[in-house]
Every structure is written in C-alpha cells, then in structure tokens.
Structure 1
Amino acid sequence: MYTPSSRIRTLFKAFFLAALVVGTILALIPSNGMGVKHVDKVQHALAFFSLAALLDIASLRRYWQWKVPLLLGYGAMIEVLQAFLPWRSFSVADWFADALGLGLYWLVWWWLLKNRLPHR
C-alpha cells in the first residue's frame, strides 16, 4: 500500500486547500455555463474526483469514514450557498454528481491498487 511521506502530505494539503478555495469561488460567482446540456454534472464529478485524490494523498485518515463525509458536506454546503444567490441555483443532481466523482475516484484507486501497482 502506498503511504506518502510527511513532506508530500504537507504539499498535498496545501494543494487541497487551494483547490477548495478556487472551487468555492468558482461555485459562487456568476456563470453562463458552457452551452452543453448537463456538462456541469461532468464538471462536478471531475472536480470531486480531483478533490478526493488530493485529500487522499494529503491525509492518512480512512476514505469512507472521514474523507467522503467531509467532501460530501463541502458539496452540500456549496449547494446551500448557491440557493441564496440569484445567479446560481440549488441542485440535488449536482450533489449526486459530486458523490459520483468520489465513488469513481475510489474505483480507480482500488483498480490501480489491485491490478497495476507493485505489491509488497
């Protein structure tokens, strides 16, 4: 099993926090979308896949017991904040896309761990 060094974890904590700040700003500013129906769901899934990867490297805590609830809570917070903005809207479907990104990250990591990474 891969365990990053303390130095690597510290670096990825900074990347994770920066991604949270940028993600929050992007989620709250006005957006005209990309003109393609449902592309925002793909963006949500990719964003949360990325956040999961950064957090997974940054922290040694358990994925399903600590990291997933934290990131799902962050996604829910963003959706609630968007409900109060006239240029954004609350969407349960966006939150499900966030959850899908977290699940996809876990599946990719599990597949790599089982099939591609050298075993010790």
Structure 2
Amino acid sequence: MKRIYQIIFLSAVLAIEYLSITTREIEAVSHSWDKLNHALAFIVLYVLFSLAFTKLSVKVKIILLLIYALQIEVIQYFIPRREFSLLDIGSDMFGIILGYILIKLFAREMDLTQSN
C-alpha cells in the first residue's frame, strides 16, 4: 500500500508543479481563490507525504514541502503573468499545518507509524 501512496504523492507533486508553472489559463484554477488553492494543495501533499514515507520525521516533511513551495514561487518569478508571493508560501504553510493536524487526528485509525 505504501508504494501506491508514493505513486499518488509523486503524481500530485507533478500535477501541482504543472499547474504552478503553466502559462495556460485553467478555468477551474483561475476562477477560485488562489490562497485556498495553495492551502488545499499542501494539505493533500502533507497527507500523501505522510502516508507514503512514514519513516521520515515531521520536521523533515515540513522542511521538504517548504522547499518545494519556495521552489514553485522562485520559478513563478520568471514566468510571464506569474509572480513570487510570500502570501502564497504562507498559504502553503497553513496547508502543511492542517495536513499535519489531519494526520495526527486520524493516525490511530489508519494505523500509521509516524516518527517525530
């Protein structure tokens, strides 16, 4: 099951990367609140990351996801009609925190072995 979570996590990372760097107008994304999109994406990423890589510490997961968030913003700085935004990174962090809370709330039910 862990391998399936790893594949889903990688797929989510690639999909989010594409949505973050494309210059195409994607209606479902562009007509919703941008900060909510960021938070939801990083909730999903943290939950999938936790399911896929149970032996990584919470600290390592958070650091890696924040590096990913920063990478997205740096790339967007160089893309036409996109910009670097600290508010986006803040929304990403908020999503990571909510993802962490979800994992903690449901860890017993899902029988996860998380190391902190």
TM over 0.5: yes
Instruction: List 4+ stretches of structure 1 deviating above 3 A.
Output: none
Alpha-carbon distance in 2 for matches of 1:21, 1:99: 19
Correspondence 1:65 to 2:59 = yes
Per the normalisation by structure 2, the TM-score is: 0.82
CA deviations on 1:77-111 (whole Å, 9 max, x unpaired) are: 00000001112111000001000001011122223
Q: How does 1:1-120 map to 2 (within 5 A)?
A: 8-30=1-23, 31=25, 33-34=30-31, 39-113=33-107, 117=109
Q: Given residue 44 of structure 2, which amino acid in structure 1 is its aligned partner?
A: S
RMSD: 2.0
Equivalent residues, number: 107
SS of the residue aligned with 1:16?
helix
CA deviations on 1:9-67 (whole Å, 9 max, x unpaired) are: 11111111111111111101124721x6xx11001000000011111000023442211
Q: Given residue 46 of structure 1, which amino acid in structure 2 is its aligned partner?
A: L
Alpha-carbon distance in 2 for matches of 1:113, 1:74: 24
Per the normalisation by structure 1, the TM-score is: 0.80
Q: Given residue 18 of structure 2, which amino acid in structure 1 is its aligned partner?
A: I
Contact 2:76 2:83 in 1 (8 A): yes
Alpha-carbon distance in 2 for matches of 1:83, 1:50: 24
